[in-house]
Chain A
Amino acid sequence: AQKVTQAQTEISVVEKEDVTLDCVYETRDTTYYLFWYKQPPSGELVFLIRRNSFDEQNEISGRYSWNFQKSTSSFNFTITASQVVDSAVYFCALSEGGSGNTGKLIFGQGTTLQVKP
């Protein structure tokens, strides 16, 4: 069965703190893609990053970093030195299929991040 679990429902931090959002996934496919999306109060989902199942190289992009571990089926997301503008709902998502182009994303329940000044 395909499933994405974001155990943290809400996280509240003070500006400049580091915060890690957890994501655990389940899939029987050997080829799949994992994503993180951000949904600010405006409602529009914003794409942050995509990783395929064969690429476990972790990445840092500015204040964002991602930790993908197939052994634990986890794809965690860290914001360093958080800012108030980072306040949003963050979704982890899974796409199965060899090419990943099936158009179906399976989302976790989302983690609401509140960054206080």
Chain B
Amino acid sequence: KAGVTQTPRYLIKTRGQQVTLSCSPISGHRSVSWYQQTPGQGLQFLFEYFSETQRNKGNFPGRFSGRQFSNSRSEMNVSTLELGDSALYLCASSLVSRGPSNEQFFGPGTRLTVL
């Protein structure tokens, strides 16, 4: 079974631009979560989508948004990029069921550099 895939793997943008990152979850997984990883703040939860609905949201400004499609693929968008948005953005998927099958499986991440 293929793992979580993220595209692109690397991205360089300039301040003020916007960016869209894509995540394809493991087949059959319906929940997709996004995280930002920086040396200073560590791993921080951005948001989680399930059945095309945002179910949970972290403490990030409105410039960070996301969506999920009917095939469970997800995108996140960052508008008006700032230098501090430079980070590794990780996507994770999980199989949501009635049982405790909630371990999250992570993709390789997208390394975003804002100049």
Contact = CB atoms under 8 A, between A and B. Distances in A.
Contacts of B33: 103-105
A92 B103 CA distance: 13
Interface residues of B, number: 30
Contacts of B104: 47, 103, 105
Contacts, number: 69
A31 B49 CA distance: 22
28 contacts: A42-B108, A43-B108, A44-B106, A44-B107, A44-B108, A45-B106, A46-B106, A47-B104, A47-B105, A50-B100, A50-B103, A91-B43, A95-B102, A99-B102, A101-B31, A101-B96, A101-B102, A102-B48, A102-B55, A103-B32, A103-B33, A103-B94, A104-B45, A104-B48, A107-B35, A107-B44, A108-B42, A109-B42
Contacts of A77: none
Contacts of B98: 99
